[in-house]
Each structure stands twice: as structure tokens, then as C-alpha cells.
Amino acid sequence: MLYTCVAACILAGCSPTGDDKNAVIEQKVESLLKRMTLEEKLGQMNQISSYGNVEDMSALIRRGEIGSILNEVDPQRINTLQRVAVEESRLGIPLLIARDVIHGFKTVFPIPLGQAATFDPQLVEDGARISAIEASSAGIRWTFSPMIDVARDPRWGRMTEGSGEDTYLTSVMGVAMIKGYQGDSLNDPTSIAACPKHFVGYGAAEGGRDYNSTYISERQLRNVYLPPFEAACKAGAATYMSSFNDNDGVPSSGNKFILRDILRGEWGFDGMVVSDWTSITEMISHGFAADAAEAARRAVDAGVDMDMVSYAYYKELPQLIKDGKVKQQTIDDAVRNILRIKFRLGLFDNPYVDENLDVLYAPAHLEAAKRAAVESAILLKNEKQTLPIPASVRTLAIIGPMADAPYEQMGTWTFDGDKNHTVTPLKAIRELAADKIQVIYEPGLSFSRDKDTKGIAKAVAAASRADMVVVFVGEEAILSGEAHCLADLNLQGAQSELIEALSKTGKPLVTVVMAGRPLTIGKEAALSSALLYSFHPGTMGGPALADLLFGKAVPSGKTPVTFPKSVGQVPIYYSHNRTGRPVTGNEILLDSIPVEAGQTSLGCTSFYLDEGWTPLYPFGYGLSYTTFEYDNIRLAADKLSVSDTLRVNFELENTGNYTATEVAQLYIQDKVGSINRPVKELKRFQRVTLKPGERRKLEFKLPVSELAFWNIDMKKTVEPGEFALWVATDSQSGEAVPFEVTE
Ligand code: NOJ
């Protein structure tokens, strides 16, 4: 017998405001809608990108041709344009000003992938709140964030913008960002509307090449890619963005199944859907529409309310309506969705921004950005406790193209971050070391792609004079992000040669990688005594890394994505399904295969002859300066019914010498299902800070209903039977603990 769960959202709907407030807003929407001409309605559905000429834009706004502007960040200009909309257009409907505030506005936080590495949703929420405070102070009331695309291919440059490979972690972090952006009420002038994107499946781009097609089955869509978006809806996300990709042949901006049936029908979403940039007319390139008119018809019918910059709606819909090809009702519904958000944001009551706010780069914002950068750094190797830098070190060599690269450490999508406010590791280390340690700086290479090896000799000479060497390598900001995909994930330029040359000095070598994605750094890791990975850490990356290197802070980040040994292993992720031929551990790798070995002599299991089956670093992995031990993992009950809550008790002890934080993780496996279920799935995590020697009793609680998945009958269901769970430090550790779900 199967138990079907009814998603709470279907009953409750995904509206962010209370019923009374909603009713008042609905009345206002209806009465305004009644007064609107068709042109004014289509104007609301039209978003443009700001361009220099305020006069030109004002003329369009005055005519009611524009509902929203993106990429305008100057508060005076925003007020000028808003005044035209409110005071000079016939109906006075305010503009909605949008911007890609992805990981901070002026104060830049670590890239979202780095924020995910913190496994600290509160910190992520706080960061998003700060982003909202700063962005709204410029007049921005809508951000195109969070990106909650599950991404399992680091070649895809946009992995940097999301929370990595895991559905649950992505859901939790997406919700945290939405809460931070939207605050307690959208109506608050410091709140900005969130826009979960890209709906949907965009992260599964074939070959990790941006904008490419995806082939996600409905079941996989529902089990892996949709849950973060459903969680976002429950969290009250005000808007959604339809993605560029076509899935199984249907571009998202023309996909009624996802935009109407699932988002509105199943989840009860009543906010606004915006297309991605020209993604409506891009349906012509997809071969899904013959011309702009057909593209506009397909998009509006599918449920895209606002057209980001293609102008297809404004130009094509009048004729389509006249010809009866698009219903007036469809337009009215889209306009309702748009006006509803403008009312919820309080724009009709309070359209203007206070031009005298002074909140950018506030000390508390910088402090929060530093904390985020501290928590996001992942210690991947620390041979013989190389780190923290011991007091015996008198001379420290700082090497590498990322040691003093203020622009690059901010990462992608930092339109508004100012490199002059960035503190680099070199600057921070010099400050921290002050007169106690002599710091010798020799970059060796001038930027990450630099192939000119002339400077390496000087770097080696500097290293030879030092007691310890810290080399900062990685990727420039431009190497990840939208459209910035890579087929080769090795360190760029001559960075690997630089590390090799430094390692030959025999000095303790600490490698710090600042990058937008996991890189294939096995060789460099082997050459280094310690390896610290910092996904582009933002404005305060330098002080954060300096604190970590000197032991003023202890690393606690965990990998939010599996690190492959080589690109050939991609996609490689921990939560894969089970093959009929899993590895046994006795597999023979390339160099051990006898010449003329028999066809079946190696065993027939699922692995690569050259790379085996394990990644470089698994999901959830990260070391500390201290050590932790898990003990006494016990279940309050090991036979549960679907209405029960699983309670897992365990003890965690700090067995080392530093006060430090561990991210304890709970994974489950559904042993037998009506479909193949993943080997492991993350279900809970918690950050626990312990003093040296401290032992604490802890608990994970998991309602059994959260073991539900979309099964063979395409029903969200908990299937009774045998399960296993792990409480562990990462996705590959710990002992399986069995439990059973009964009918
Ligand atoms: C295209 C990107 O895909 C999307 O993420 C972004 O929000 C829009 N451009 C607006 O800049």
C-alpha cells in the first residue's frame, strides 16, 4: 500500500501575504485593471533595460509603455523615471525597478556556491537582507535571485550562482535568500522581491554548455529539479523567471506544463513570472516559433507575464488579440499578476526612494561579508597540521595571481561591487602579520590565465627565503558565470607550473584556490602541504582568509558539490542512482591491467579504467583544525509509520585542540522502491560549535513524510519498507543505520 502526501502548498497556496491584505489588494488590482486600455496592459507586461537617455525612457513611460526597468541603479534617475510614471502617465502606475543583485549589491558576499559551502542558512539569510537593504537604498525593489538550479556539471559556468549539486541544500539556501530579500513584509521599503530562477532545469545543460538543451524526465524533474522551486513558492517568493533552455524539446518560456500546471495549478503561485532576457523571441532560434508573433502567443499562453526586453508582447499582442489568437482574459490575468506584486511591494503608496540613505558598505555589512567568507572556506588538505601558520614562522612568502586581485575575488555578477572596497589576502595578511612576520610578496604570474613563466623564478627565490609559502591561485571572475563555461577544469595559465616550482623548494606550501567552481586540482593538492578552497569570497575575502590562515578563525566549510578528479568523470555527484553493476572495490585500474588481459578479466562494474569511481573530494567534505568524533548514533524508534517523525540521536565530540564548528549531516537511503532510488540523499544538517574536549548530545528530526518521492505512478509517496541512514561528517563517511517504515 502506498501513502500519498498532499503538498501543504496545494492547500495553502503560495501567497506571501495574509488573507485580509490579499483581499484588499485584489480589489485594488481589479479596479485598476478595469480602467486600463489594452496598450496600458501590454505596457505593464513590458520590461526594458535602462539606457542612458532619461528623456527617451520618460517618453515611453509617460505613454504607459513600460511596466518595469532593469539595470538602473542611480537613485536620482530612478526617482526621475518613477515621477514620470506616477505623475505623468495616465494611470500613475509605478515602475518596478529590477537588478541582478546576486551575492550582494555594493558589499559583495561570497558567490552563492561559496555561501552554500557554509551550510549556514541563517548567515545566508542575513547576507540577503543586507543585499536588500543596500539595493533598496538605490531604489531597486526586485532582484533576479536566488538561482536555485541544481547543477551537477562544473563545466557549466553558472554553477557558481547556485548552491551546487544537491536538491535539499539548494532548497534550504534558496529559502534563506528569499527570506532575507523579502524580509518580514514585501511592503517594507527595505524589502526587495525575490525571483527564483531559472524555471526550470537550466542547470542540466547538456555538456555543461550554457543555454544548451536539457533532457530531464518528468520524474527526475519532480524529484531533483523542482523541489527547490516548490520550497521557494512556499516561502512566498514573489516572482519567478522562466529559463532559457528547452527541456525535452519545449523551451521554458513556452512551457505551459511547468508555468501553469505545476507552478500555478499544483503550487498555487499567484505572483508574477518574467521571461529571461529575450527568451521569448529566442524561441524562434529554438525552432519553437516561426516569428515574434508566434513566440509572443506561445509565451503568454504558457504563462509568462512579463517580457524581459524582447518587446514581442508590446508589438505583437495587439494583433494577436484582434485576430482572436490570444484571449483578453490571458492578458488580464498576466496584468493582475504584475499589479499584485506592485501593490504587495507598497509601490503605489511609496514609489520613491529616499536619496539620502547612507547604508552602502556599512561596517556591519562588511563584518557579515567577512563572516560569510570565513564560513565558506573549505579546508581540503592539512598535512601534518601545516595550518594554522605556526608562531615559529618568521618569514612568509605570499605568491600567486589571486593574492592581490581585488576585482577577481569578487566573482561573477558583481555589476555594482567596487574593487576599491575589496580587501585582498595580501593586504589583510600584511595587516595581521604587522611587524611580527616578514611578508615577501612575489606574484609569479600576473593573472590566472597568464602563461608567461618569466616571473616564476622570482617567486621561487622569494619562497626559498621564507619559512612558509602561501600561494593564491584560481580563476578570474570572468571565467565563471553566465555563458562562461569551460571544457577543461585544470588551473589556467601557468599556475600549475608555479605550484610545482614552489613545491620543489621543500618549504611548507599552502595553496589557496579562489574560484567560481570546483577545479580539477588533484595534482596541485598532492604537491601542497595544505589546501584551502575559497569560492570567490567577495569584498572581505582577504581578511577572512587571513584569519583562517593564522588560526584566528577555524575552517568549517563543506563542499556543496563533488570535486571531480578530471572532467571525464563529469557529471559526478553523490546522490546518483544505483547501477546493476556497482563497484566492488576490487576493480583493476589502467596501470595494473596485464597486457592481453581477457575481455571480462577486470570484472564488469561501473567505473573508469583511468579515474576509478571516486571523486577528488566528495560532497559535504571539509576538514577543520580540530578533529570530531561521532558516537552513539541511536534511533528513538527504528520502526515508524508514515505519520511519525524519525528521531536520530547522536553524540559529537571535539577531540582536538581548537574551538571549532562541524557540519553534522544526515543522509538516508530508500533500499527498495517502485523506481531506482539514489544511493544517498541529504535530509538534514546542523552546524555545531564545540570547545576542545566538549561532547554534546544532538538530535536530527525528520518527519517520515519527507521520505516521499515521485514514484512509478508519478505520485509523491512514501513507500514503506527498509531504509538506511547515516549521520556523518560528509557524504562518504559513517556507518549505515537501518530503520523501517511500516504501512
Ligand atoms: C540573463 C540571465 O540568465 C538571468 O539570470 C538574469 O537575471 C537576466 N539575464 C537579467 O540580467
Q: Where are the domains of the chain?
A: 19-344, 628-741
Q: Could you tell me if the CB of 65 is within 6 A of ligand 1? A: no
Contacts of 53 (CB under 8 A, 6+ apart): none
The response to whether residue 71 sits with its C-beta less than 6 Å from ligand 1 reads no
pLDDT digits (tens, 9 = 90+) for 642-695: 999 999 999 999 999 999 999 999 999 999 999 999 999 999 999 999 999 999
Q: How many CB atoms lie within 10 A of CB 486?
A: 20
Compute the distance from residue 281 Cα to the ligand 1 centre, in Å: 15
Task: For ligand 1, atom 10, name the residue with the nearest CA.
Answer: 277
Q: Output the CA 97–ligand 1 centroid distance in Å.
A: 14
Q: 213-240 as b/e, with b when 16 or more CB fall inside 10 Å? A: bbebeeeebbbbbbbbbbbbbbbbbbbb
Looking at 246, 276, 307, 670, which residue is catalytic? 276
The pLDDT of residue 19 is 75
Residue 627's pLDDT is: 98
Burial group, residue 588, by CB count within 10 angstroms (0-12, 13-18, 19+): middle
Question: DSSP assignment of 439-507, as one string?
Answer: EEEE-SSSSTT---GGGHHHHHHHHHHSSEEEEEEE--GGGSSTT---S--SPPTTHHHHHHHHHTT-S
Taking each helix axis as running N to C, give the angle between helix 292-302 and helix 328-344, from 0 to 180 degrees, rounded to the nearest 10.
60
Active site residue 74: no
**How many angstroms separate the CA atoms of 387 and 109, rounded?**
24
Cβ atoms of residues 742 and 687 within 8 Å:
no
Q: Is 482 in the pocket of ligand 1 (CB under 6 A)?
A: yes
Task: Establish whether residue 142 lines the binding site of ligand 1, counting it when its CB lies within 6 angstroms of any ligand atom.
Answer: no
Give pLDDT, residue 8. Answer: 39
Kindly give the parts of the chain with pLDDT less than 70: 1-18
Atom nearest to 244 CA in ligand 1? 3
- Ligand 1 atom 11: the closest Cα is on which residue? 100
Grid coordinates belonging to 235: 516561502
Q: What is the pLDDT of residue 1?
A: 34
What is the structure's pLDDT at 16?
52
CATH number at 19-344: 3.20.20.300
- CA–CA separation, 13 vs 271, rounded Å? 11
Task: Judge if the beta carbon of residue 100 lies within 6 A of ligand 1.
Answer: yes
Q: What is the pLDDT of residues 199-238, one digit of tens each?
A: 999 999 999 999 999 999 999 999 999 999 999 999 999 9
**628-741 sits in which CATH class?**
mainly beta
In this structure, are residues 96 and 67 in contact, taking their beta carbons and an 8 Å threshold? yes
Tracing cell 532576457 back to the chain, one arrives at 277
Given the CA of residue 198, which atom of ligand 1 is nearest to it?
A: 5
- Asked if residues 137 and 357 have their Cβ atoms less than 8 Å apart, the reply is yes
Is there a shared CATH topology between the 19-344 domain and the 628-741 domain? no
Q: For a ligand 1 pocket test, name from 48, 276, 414 the mutation site with the most ligand atoms within 8 angstroms of its C-beta.
A: 276
- 8 Å CB contact between 66 and 60: yes
Angle between helices 456-465 and 495-503 (to 10 degrees): 30
pLDDT score, position 600 = 87
CA of 397 to the centre of ligand 1 (A): 41
Which stretches does DSSP call E strand in 32-86? 46-49, 68-70
> 600: exposed, middle or buried (C-beta count within 10 Å: 0-12, 13-18, 19+)?
exposed
